[in-house]
Amino acid sequence: MLTVEDMHVDLGDFAMSGSFEVPSGARLAVMGPSGAGKSTLLNVVAGFQDAQGRLLWSGREIGSLPPAERPVSMVFQDNNLFPHLTAFQNVGLGLSPKLKLSKVDRARVMDALARVGLDGLESRKPAALSGGQQSRVALARMLLRDKPLLLLDEPFAALGPAMRVEMLGLVKDLVTETGATLLMVTHDPDDAALIADQCILVAEGRVEPPVDMQTFLADPPKAMRAYLGT
């Protein structure tokens, strides 16, 4: 269970605050108008953005931990892979930052790659992989890190609609298998409906507590209406 207490971020001409709880195993979409601070919220949870307030995971304070030590795994909008390393090495980094992999580790890497459908592509560098394949490598790494909380920041925005649906399906499967909690930023309500059962609204400097997805989409709050066009 993720607890955010009295969070307040002040970035000069932009401020954001809120408190909410996310139950374990929940799948949440983070939505809101452009520039509202959706990515900022994820950055706060992941540890890339300083903020006031308390951040707790299962009752334990994680607010002062560096990003790698938090129970969080994050996939960014871009630059998820190191272009000079192979797919295998990129995934391997998820197990050991020094890339010192035992035989068991290597087998695990190959398994993860197979799970996301990249069998046989492990020695390719990102430039030799398509956009969808690159996303899969990132997901394979996420799988290996096996952290309880997954943060996705519009990771499939650059992919075509069919590919996006496929990737979201993959994410849903992985999350179900591992029982992880998911927070995903998306600007597309259809994508949100596909994968999430609850929704957090970030708008006008406030982070609202999670709301059931269907309720949200059936009767969106005023701040979202203009954005959604309803």
Partner 1 sequence: MALRAGTVSVWAGAVSAALVLALTLGTLGAVVWRAEGFGGLGPRDWGYVRFTVWQALASAAISVALAIPVARALARRQFWGRSALITVLGAPFILPTIVAILGLLAVFGRTGIVSEVLNWAGLEPVSIYGIHGILLAHVFFNLPFATRLVLQGWLSIPSERFRLAASLGFSASDVSRVLERPMLRDVVPGVFLVIFLICTTSFAVALALGGGPRATTVELAIYQAFRFDFDLSKAALLGLVQVMICVVAGALVFKVRLPSTSGVGLDRVARRWEAQGLGLRIQDSVCIALAALFLLGPLSMIVIEGIGGLFSLPISVLEAAWNSVWVTVVSTVLCMALALSMALAVSRLSAGAGALVEGIGFLTIATSPLVMGTGLFVMIFPFADPTALSLPVTAVVNAAMALPFALRALVPAVRDLQAGYGKLSASLGLSGFAWLRWVAVPRLRRPLGFGAGLAAALSMGDLGVIALFSNPEVETLPLALFRLMGAYRLDQAASAALVLVALSLMAFWVCDRGGRVNVDG
Binding site for partner 1 (CB under 8 A): 44, 46-51, 53, 55, 63-64, 66-69, 72-74, 76, 79-80, 82-85, 93-94, 97-99, 125-127
**Nearer to partner 1 by C-beta: 69 or 177?**
69
| Minimum gap (Å) between residue 155 Cβ and partner 1 | 13
| Minimum gap (Å) between residue 206 Cβ and partner 1 | 18
**Where do we find the tokens 């394949």?**
133
**Nearer to partner 1 by C-beta: 153 or 191?**
153
Whole-number Å distance between alpha carbons of 2 and 181 = 9
One-character DSSP codes across the chain? -EEEEEEEEE-SS-EEEEEEEE-TT-EEEEE-STTSSHHHHHHHHHTSS--EEEEEETTEE-TTS-GGGSSEEEE-SS--S-TTS-HHHHHHTTT-TT----HHHHHHHHHHHHHTT-TT-TT--GGGS-HHHHHHHHHHHHHHHT-SEEEEESTTTTS-HHHHHHHHHHHHHHHHHHT-EEEEE-S-HHHHHHH-SEEEEEETTEEPPPEEHHHHHHS--HHHHHHHT-
| Minimum gap (Å) between residue 219 Cβ and partner 1 | 33
**Nearer to partner 1 by C-beta: 1 or 193?**
1
**Nearer to partner 1 by C-beta: 6 or 119?**
6
| Minimum gap (Å) between residue 161 Cβ and partner 1 | 26
Q: Please report how many Cα atoms fall inside a 13 Å half-sphere around the Cα of residue 202, on the Cβ side.
A: 26
| Minimum gap (Å) between residue 126 Cβ and partner 1 | 7
**Nearer to partner 1 by C-beta: 128 or 228?**
128
| Minimum gap (Å) between residue 154 Cβ and partner 1 | 14
**Nearer to partner 1 by C-beta: 65 or 163?**
65
CA 215 to chain centre: 23
**Nearer to partner 1 by C-beta: 154 or 192?**
154
Tokens of 172: 């849903």
| Minimum gap (Å) between residue 199 Cβ and partner 1 | 23
